[in-house]
Amino acid sequence: MPVKREGSSPLGLYTIGIAALFLAGFFLLVVFGAGSYRNTVSGQNDNMASRALLSYLATTVKGHDSAGAVSVREGAEGSILTLADGDTGYALRIYRRGGVLVEDYAPLDSELRPEEAQRIGETAVFTVEQQGSDLLRLSTDAGQVLLRLRSGGAA
């Protein structure tokens, strides 16, 4: 017949203490992990938003890249990037007006129409530099992109 001891064994308390310690560590890991994940995603979204404008510009220029279709001129508020639309006599013109990059679609030789232009995005800087016969450097406050024109150069 087993003998019963008076009092309780400390082994049960140690087991509960160790389980509580592991549970507290798990909860801390979840809380710090969620905070770290939130910060990472926020940084990634900020990076994608700042790169969206440059990506749009690069894609638009490459889509209109044909002989004599791409031209650059200076206007009152800076660079004006003109992308001719084939033989239609119309062009897509991209320029900065009041801290906002806009585009309008109008006849090639017509005046700019900022009141009818579509807003692309906010930027404090928009410059287009032609480097050589077939290289364009587009700059915004988000950075720069170099584009090599397959058609052989800007007009």
Give per-residue pLDDT as tens, 24-51. Answer: 999 999 999 999 999 999 989 888 877 8
Phi and psi torsions of 142, nearest 5° = -85, -10
Give per-residue pLDDT as tens, 97-155. Answer: 988 999 999 998 889 888 889 999 888 899 999 887 788 999 988 888 999 888 765 55
**Count of residues making up the chain:** 155
Sort strands 135-140 and 118-122 into parallel, antiparallel or unpaired. unpaired
**Beta bridge mates, 97:** 100
- Residues 80-90 have a mean pLDDT of 89
pLDDT at residue 4 greater than cutoff 80? no
- Residues 50-59 have a mean pLDDT of 87
Q: Is 1 helix (H, G, I), strand (E, B) or coil?
A: coil
Rounded to whole angstroms, the Cα distance separating 60 from 121 reads: 14
